Amino acid sequence: MSNPTDPGQDSLRERLKSLPLFYRTMTVVFGPALLVFGPGWFLKKFPRPGRCLNLGAGVRRLGPGVENIDIAPAPMVDIVADIANLPIPDASVARFVCDNVLEHVPDVPAAVREMHRILEPGGIGYVSTPFLYPFHASPSDFHRWTAPGLRLLFKDFEMVAIGTRSGPFSTLNVWLCYTFATLFCLGNERLFWPLVNVSLFLFFPVKLLDLPFLLLPQSLHSASVFYCVVRKK
């Protein structure tokens, strides 16, 4: 019997992670959120020589010279470790990326302390986190943050930039998918996640309406995902 406080995870999505290129293509095209200002943007906009880590990388390789760290072993993972307890020397990293990972970490303050510890003075990091986004297990899901909540979480860093990564129409789209699955699964958990996946193909064009609105400051009030860039003082 599943734990009622920890809804079941999407097993199909977990299996597709064994096909990294296919999985990445599907999530970019048909994923419920239109994601902009991502890790690629960060790496180009904030160049810095030195060691660069992708914390909680999963099956993605951001580019040459970027080391992947993840709690689960996988073909593209260079270091298997918990990001709340990193086997990385103090002040030895120039840049890090932590892209939609912190919501899956039980001890977030410990992870943030580790980010601060491993960064060299003046080192810079990219973090994205969900705000108005439903439960998605990988392997579980614990947290959400507002924009002020991110400022508080990273209070020991300089906040270089903070903004909307996925806007209000991505929020609408993802809730359409989950609502559709909730209505038509008829209370059957085994049907719920397949229906979520089917609904992605039905509703994904809705997220494209984000494009005219992402840069409006009011999008922060109903964003699906935030990003921030932080620097070690």
For the chain, domain boundaries: 11-167+220-232
Q: Residues 30-36: what's their mean pLDDT?
A: 90
Tell whether the model's pLDDT for residue 24 goes beyond 80. no
Tell whether the model's pLDDT for residue 5 goes beyond 60. no
Using 50, 70 and 90 to split pLDDT, how confident is the model at 62?
A: very high
- Assign residue 118 a region: left if phi > 0, alpha if psi is -120 to 50, beta otherwise? alpha
Closest CA relative to residue 213, chosen from 163, 142, 143, 176: 163
pLDDT of residue 198: 93
Using 50, 70 and 90 to split pLDDT, how confident is the model at 48?
A: very high
Closest CA relative to residue 48, chosen from 221, 225, 189, 232: 232
Report the C-alpha gap between 233 and 230 in whole angstroms.
9
Q: Residues 183-193: what's their mean pLDDT?
A: 94
- CATH code linked to domain 11-167+220-232: 3.40.50.150
